Every structure is written in structure tokens, then in C-alpha cells.
Structure 1
Amino acid sequence: MTALTLAAAQTVSIAGDLPENIARHRVLMRVAAEHGVQLLVFPELSLTGYEPSLATELAIAPDDAVLTPLRELARELRLTAVVGMPIRLSSAPQVLIGALVMAADGSLAVYSKQHLHPGEEAVFAPGAGGAALMWGDERIALAVCADFSHASHPRAAAALGATVYAAGVLISEGGYAADTALLQGYAAEHTMMVLMANHGGPSGGWRCAGRSAVWCERGGLLAAAPGVGEGLVLARREAGRWSGQHVGI
């Protein structure tokens, strides 16, 4: 098995401020690269904050030039970044909750949230998901927040051979215990390493819990952020074994 380092980026998004959020993403990408991270996953709607009232105005095509600084840095650092953004596809006018895969080779892929949280249908349409990422011996399935609340989602990923389940989320203080119990359970049930990237500050009226985390394929906690604020939670696999680390910013 080849060595692999993944990370959850815990961010504090500024509502609707795309330039400032891009700048903060670039900082976290550079720190991740310094720690050898090859795949960095950001929270749900990380580039705008979780702001449904602003999403229609802010939604862009996945290949919009405004995101060029992130794509160029990903290529420069040889790091793949998965960032959260409201998007519109050329095939349909609806706004989707996107996770944009800005690959180290300069390519771009799109994952769109399949399962909406109650109330999101007023602004967003359900998406179609997206292909898993292949990384040596690993098959990395993506998820966005409420996707994982449907047990069929991680089950389908596991059935297709996923060894890692990586979710960009917004989880509040009130929902943290139940949601992380689900994610930990999926790790053990499906023998998948599970990564969760959560917001590290308030967003969209929610008091986000932070505490981004990674669990090994037996369900044990590898590492977690201690609370809110920005930082990285790393998962490294060497010689077939996963280890974790929290990196404060």
C-alpha cells in the first residue's frame, strides 16, 4: 500500500465574502502542504458560509474564473482540495450545494449534495453526487452533510469499494453527538476510514461545533479538533495503518 495523508480543514467562513474566504482557504492549503497532505476536504459551503439566503446570488459555474487562485495553488502545491460552493451546472438552472474537487493535476470534478436538509429545498435542488476519487489503493467517496444522515449513502459507497468516506459538513453543537455517532458507526460497519470537516465558527445562524474528526476503519477516533476555530485534522496511512493528528492554525 502507498502512503497517503488526508486532512479535514476546519474553517471559519465569513458570510458571502468569497474573496476573503478564498484567501483563508489558500492559507490552510499551504499549511496542509507543509504537513504532506495530498487531499484536503473543506466544510459544506466553505467558500460562502452556510448562507441559503445568499446562495442564489452567489452561485457560480464550477469552472468560474473566480476560483482560479485556488485551482492554481492546488496545482502548485500538488495537493487536491475539495471546497464547498453553491453552484449551477450548464445542464440545469437550479442551485446545487457543490463540493468542487480541485485536483493536483489541474483537473476539476464536481460532487453535488444528493440529500437536502429539511428547508434547503426552498433554495437548493438535490444533486447527483459524483464519482469517488482514486488514490493508489484507496477509493475515496465524498459526501456533503445531510448525505450521511441517510444510511443508504455510505452503504452505497462501501458497496462500490470505498475505503474512505470524506464528508464536508455543517454540524451544530446540538447535533454533534448524534451526527458523530453515525459517522463513527459507519466507519466500523463498513470498514472505512471516515473524515469529517466541520465549520469552526457560526454560519447561517447556526452555532457550529467545530471538532472536525477522523475515525479509523474499526471506528476508533484517530484525531479531532479540540473545539471551534480554524485548523487541520490529519489522517496518515503508512504500511496499512492509519494515524491521526490535529494541527492548530
Structure 2
Amino acid sequence: MTATPPLRIAAAQSSSLPGDVRGNLCLHLPFVEAAAAEGVSLILFPELSLTGYELPLLKRHVLSADAPVLEPLRRLARLRRIAVVVGAPVPGVSDALPAIGAICLCPDGSSAIYRKRFLHAGEAQFASPGEVNAHGLDVGDQRVSLAICADTVHAEHPRWARAAGATVYAAGVLWSGAGYAADAAIVRNWAAAHDMAVLVANHGAPTGGLVAAGRSALWGPGGQLLAAAPATGDHLVLAERCDGGWLGTVRKVDVE
């Protein structure tokens, strides 16, 4: 009997140029290529990775899932057979303000949007909250549920994800150096409490006037830290699911 190959997903610890969607998209492409070379089926980027965490600029850069500017990523997702989840401002549901979104570009050419369900203090003047409690993607035999930053501090959000069948809780975030320890402890607790792997993609450089902590990471379903990137720079955190459970490794990405 032929063994089933292990499933791999990845968090991209990337850096963002302020308000430069095309420039940031070009910076995303090497991450997707590097992940595909590692056999990854899904790659997750940080919160607002295509614009940077530039709240006053959100309305200027709203993207739909079928926006023409995303075509290079969409094409690469089809070519490399990898789901690509990027952070961007997206149309709000029932509000004039945009939402902080995760745009999912799938290998079959389909796409979807998850909108940040819970906003940080200060975000409400620039963005509207989403209305969907759990957004899942089937990746191999795993169910990956998406989260965006402040979602992770609300206990109901990972609970909703688990109730919807999630085995992986995947969060694109902007965690600062000052807040990293507390934020990491929270998601570690969700991994243990809900028996889910937790994958976090954080920025690897300052954005929106904040100094990002980097240290994108993978926690196993019991809460054990399995891999963490350095505090700065461009890296992939690879999460591999095999018969023995989850394994994590980190790879440097050359974006030049």
C-alpha cells in the first residue's frame, strides 16, 4: 500500500510596503513559490499583508476577491496547486466602511473572503466587523478555520471554529513586541483547550507605525510550541501533519 504523503501548510512572515498593493503583491510571490517547492497546500499571510496595517488607507485600497490586480497570485495558486490566503481591505457586508479581510485564492480558480469578526479598539472608525463566525477551508483531511488578529482574543471565536469542525486555527495577525507574550499565551491556550493546531502569520517588519514582533509560529493541538520564526525578516513557518502528529520547521525566504 502506498503511504499517503504528509499534509503541509505554511505561515508567511512577510514585510509590507505602506499602501503599495502591487509592490506587496510582488513581495508575496516568492513566498508562494517557496511554499510550493516545500509541498505546501495552503499558505497564510499576515493581517493586511497587501497594504500594510495602514488603517487610514483602507478605503482607498478595497479589493474584491476577483480584483484584476490579484491575477498574478491567482495564476500562481492554480499553477502551483496551492491555496493562497492574503490580507487586504475588502468590501463591508452591511456598512459603508470596508472590512479587514482574508482573501482566499484556491487552486481550482475559485475564491472566497473572510472578514475580521472582532475589531481592535481604534479600528471601528476605519473598518466594519464581519458577520460570519467561522470560515473554514478543507485542506487534505484537515479543516482550516481562519482568524484575523483580534479574533484570537475572543474565546468564542476559536470555539466557533472548533464547533464547525476545525482541526487547524490559522490567524493572520499584527502582533507587536510589547503584546506578543500575552497574545501567544492566548492562542496556545486555544490549541490545548480545543485540540487544534494553531498557525500564526505575523509581520516581519514595522507596519502602520507599530513594531511587529515577528515570531510567526505553530502550536500543536496540546499547546506545545513546535516552530517559531525569528523576530524579524522574511520566513516560512511550515506545519506538517503526518501519522505521528504535527511537526514544525522554519525556512528563510529570499524576496530579492
TM-score by length of 1: 0.96
Q: Partners in 2 of 1:240 and 1:136 — Cα distance?
A: 16
Corresponding residue of 1:183:
187
Q: CA RMSD in A?
A: 1.4
The one-character-per-residue Cα deviations of 1:84-116 (angstroms, maximum 9, x if unpaired) are: 000115875430101001011111011000100
8 Å Cα contact 2:100-2:115 kept in structure 1: yes
Corresponding residue of 1:26:
29
1:55-74 alignment to 2 at 5 Å?
A: 55-74=58-77
Shift of 1:58: 1.1
Counterparts in 2 of 1:123 and 1:31: CA distance versus 1, 3 Å: same
Number of residue-to-residue matches in the alignment: 249
The one-character-per-residue Cα deviations of 1:146-166 (angstroms, maximum 9, x if unpaired) are: 001101100111122211000
TM-score by length of 2: 0.94
* 2:16 alignment partner, one of 13, 17, 23: 13
Corresponding residue of 1:198:
202
Q: Partners in 2 of 1:136 and 1:31 — Cα distance?
A: 20
The one-character-per-residue Cα deviations of 1:154-197 (angstroms, maximum 9, x if unpaired) are: 01111222110000000000000000000111101100000000
Corresponding residue of 1:207:
211
Q: Does 1:161 align with 2:165?
A: yes
Q: Partners in 2 of 1:151 and 1:246 — Cα distance?
A: 28
> Which one-letter code corresponds to 2:204 in the other structure?
G
Shift of 1:3: 2.5
* 1:3 alignment partner, one of 3, 6, 9: 6
Corresponding residue of 1:102:
105
3-state SS of 2:124 partner? helix
3-state SS of 2:204 partner? coil
3-state SS of 1:120 partner? coil
* 1:238 alignment partner, one of 239, 242, 250: 242
> Which one-letter code corresponds to 1:227 in the other structure?
A
Instruction: Give the ranges of 4+ consecutive aligned residues of structure 1 lying more than 6 Å apart after TM superposition.
Output: none
Counterparts in 2 of 1:182 and 1:64: CA distance versus 1, 3 Å: same
Question: Which consecutive unaligned segments of at least 5 residues does structure 1 have?
Answer: none
Calculate percent identity across the aligned residue pairs. 50
* 1:78 alignment partner, one of 72, 77, 81: 81
3-state SS of 2:218 partner? strand
Corresponding residue of 1:222:
226
Shift of 1:19: 1.1
Corresponding residue of 2:51:
48
* 1:119 alignment partner, one of 122, 125, 140: 122
